[in-house]
Structure 1
Amino acid sequence: MANNKDVEIVIRDNKASIFLRELSATSSMHYLAASSPMGFGANNNAVFEYCRSKLGMQSGDYFCLHNPDLIIAPDVLLEAVNTAEQHAARLVTINLFQDSDLTRPDFNIKRFPSLLDFARGFLLGSNPAAYDKTTIDEPTQVDWASGAFLLFKAELYQQLHGFDERFFMYLEDVDICRRARDQLGEPVLYLPHLKAVHLCRQANKRLFSRHFYWFMVSMLKYFLRSGSRTVN
């Protein structure tokens, strides 16, 4: 896909890997290394600014971010852009699975969370805020979608001033989707027919790990700003 004249691929390297630098140089991709480790939101904001200032990204273009553990076919990404245009959607996600056979759904679309949802998730291993994706077969508006894959109209990302960098990791995707809806009236459009694989690890569930600490800090920041889930 790096050879598609309408697509620019930017790799953001949080650890300054020689391998990624060389891979980018031989694959027509742009390589950006962080001077020091940064959070998820800060890294994506840096990529957005690079696309805007160095690659000539315009307000009508699309800015797609996805995790390095996401496996997606080029035609799926391009169809997501085309479908977004057809629906005049400025924030889009697709249908993620946790295995290559597409049998284990990734709960990448959810309702805005409550404290009780998080408690149930940690104690019972359930996903009470998750949508039942088996019941959705048409493009549908949802509350928020995982940052593993989000497709923004560049003008929307700019209007939101990107991710809130006070979230080092976790819930920055919930926060930006909520701000998009509450401040600009832009919901997330979920496209169930477009599928990709997300090899997620859910490191935040390991008690007393760094990821668990980052998750708890982000959860406090989110609820101090947004409160509990709003009933639509």
Structure 2
Amino acid sequence: MKKIAVLITTLLFCTIGLFAQQKAFWNDIQVFKKQDSINPPPQQAILFIGSSSFTKWHDVQNYFPDYKIINRGFGGSTLPEVTGYVNDIVFPYHPKQVVVYCGDNDLASSDTITAATVANRFKSLFQILRAKLPNTSIVYVSIKPSPSRKKLMPKMQEVNEEIKSFLSKQKNTAFVDVYHKMLNADGSIMSNIFIEDQLHMNAKGYAIWQKEIQPVLKK
């Protein structure tokens, strides 16, 4: 009995250790893999990756009926977390275009996170994507303003400008400015394009995104 108790205790600690070592959003990635095993997505599609503004765009394909979209946005991810999963959510699909929305949560994660830090995180992701997908178009959708993160707007604009400038010097890229399209004429944030949490968008908000993103998508 004593040996069995020791064995059970050992197994319990091993299990706890495995969960402790499990990366954030690991379960989300496993869901994608299971979906792919049941219904393999096409190669050479347009791949959306990033954080919850893409995650919650459940009907994104309906907004772009003339394009094949694969949505692999997950949770409230940050750029390092997206970068950490590129082998799982990007390269297996051999996309002809990668559309990125991320950086919003990076800024919100800590007051010490600077705009330069977030921009450099995107540049790191870009270099990884470009190294393995040299002919793939890469699009960055600007960080959006939202009522719940109004205080971060100056940093958001800094990040957007830095990434826009960076991409202007790279081949086969595009920067999509949704930030200014989500503001009223007086510079205030539109109030009717968000759901109750005042962070994520409703259909009106996504309609703005559709209008700005579609012109840069590859046929």
TM over 0.5: no
Highest Rg: 1 or 2?
2
Higher strand share: 1
Q: What TM-score, normalized by structure 1, do the two folds share?
A: 0.28
Higher relative contact order (CA 8 A, sep 6+): 1
